[in-house]
Structure formats: structure tokens, C-alpha cells
Amino acid sequence: MSSQKEYLRLFYAVEIPEFIRHNIVECIARYKELPDNLKWTSFGNLHLTLRFLGSVEFEKVADLKEILTRVSHKEKPFIYSLQGIGCFPNTKRARVIWIGALKGVDSLKRIACSIEDNLVNYGFEKEEREFTPHVTISRLKDRTRKLTQPFQKYLQEDSDKFFGEFTLKNISLIKSVLTPDGPVYTTLFKSILG
């Protein structure tokens, strides 16, 4: 009798303090009043993804925790700040609306790169896209991916908006469960920097 393997949808991330998430939600309230067909990230789900892992066998979770511990112990706590709203790939063909990182970008990139190297050593497939630190705040539902003029105007006005900074002291392994009301995130493991 064969036992069925259990899989979890996982990612590594930086969890954002509540005061910064409140600043983000306050800012995007006016965007929500526009007729653009967007799916907004909920308050509790705002985070900065270091590496999306996708569907992973449950038995590999121990390895993923070990990777996180090894990576985090090499990096000291650092100041990290969020500033500016933009979109990928651009305003004409937008599919993701994001908030960028200002301070701490080099440290975030170093952590992401170290995670990637460790994952490859553990047999995970290498991520081809270059890591760009950002917090996804919305995705376009409309396949035409065209933003209205008022929305583009707001993006221009908020291109340098400051949302706050804090000392980043740990990084997390998070489980994502997809539901009809959106994903539900649960932190499985946190590892302290330094």
C-alpha cells in the first residue's frame, strides 16, 4: 500500500511590521476608489518575498529550515525601508503594482542570492529571474493590462512616497494555502539574523 506524499505551497519572505502595513493600506485606499480592475493584497498578507518555492514535499521542510538558519546567521540585522510605488513590467503593460525597497537593498539581494545558492545545492531548480526587492500590493485582473489615466497619475505622484523603515532582524518560511477568498499565510519558521 503506497502512502500519498503531502505537499505544501511555500516561500521565503520578510514579514513587514504592522505600522508600515497600515501606511501602505492608507495610501492605497484612494487607488481602490478608481474603476481599475485590480486584486489588492490584504493587510495581513503584505510581505516581501525573498524566494517563492511553490509546491514542496513536506519531508523537505526540514531542509528548508536548515537553509534559512544557515543564510540568516551570515547576515547581521540591518535597516530596511519601503519607498515608492511602481509596476511590473511598466505602466503600459502593468500586471503587478509594487512598493519598492530603499535602504537595505544590497543586504536583501545578498540574502536572496545566498538562499538561491543553497537551494540549488539541495537539488532545487535555479530561479532564472533576477531578484528585485518589492512588496506586491496589487495584481491586474484585466488581461488587457491597461491602467486608467487617474491611476497612472497616482502612480506618478507616489513614485517616491515613503512608507517607513525598521531594523530587519529575521526572515521567515511561510506556508500559503489558496482559498476562494485569497491566500492564507502561516509562518512555519523564523530565523534570526546574525
DSSP string, 24-61: HHHHHHHHHTS---EEEPPGGG-EEEEEEEEEEEGGGH
In which band, very low, low, confident or very high, does the pLDDT at 1 lie, cut at 50, 70 and 90?
A: very low
Q: What domains, with CATH codes, occur in the chain?
A: 7-192 (3.90.1140.10)
Based on the residue annotation, tell me whether 47 is a catalytic residue of this protein.
yes
Q: Which residue has the higher pLDDT, 2 or 171?
A: 171
**Model confidence over 101-135: pLDDT tens digits?**
999 999 999 999 999 999 999 999 999 889 999 99
**Model confidence over 29-64: pLDDT tens digits?**
999 888 777 889 999 999 999 999 999 999 999 999
**Alpha-helical regions (H) of 3-148:** 18-32, 61-73, 105-121
Sheet order of strands, 7-15 included: 47-57, 7-15, 170-177, 184-192
Task: Point out the catalytic residue in the list 13, 21, 28, 47.
Answer: 47
**Model confidence over 147-175: pLDDT tens digits?**
888 999 999 999 999 999 999 999 999 99
Cα 160 to Cα 7: distance, rounded to the nearest angstrom? 40
Cα 70 to Cα 64: distance, rounded to the nearest angstrom? 10
Based on the residue annotation, tell me whether 73 is a catalytic residue of this protein.
no
Give the pLDDT of residue 37: 78
Terminal-residue alpha carbon distance, the chain? 46
Q: 63: how many CB neighbours lie within 10 A of its CB?
A: 17
Q: Which residue has the higher pLDDT, 32 or 189?
A: 189
Task: Point out the catalytic residue in the list 134, 138, 147, 158.
Answer: 134
Residue 157 host element (H or E): helix 149-157
Angstrom CA distances, 16 to 20, 94, 165, 191, stand at 7, 24, 10, 15
Would you call the peptide bond into 89 cis, given omega within 30 degrees of 0 as the criterion? Answer: yes
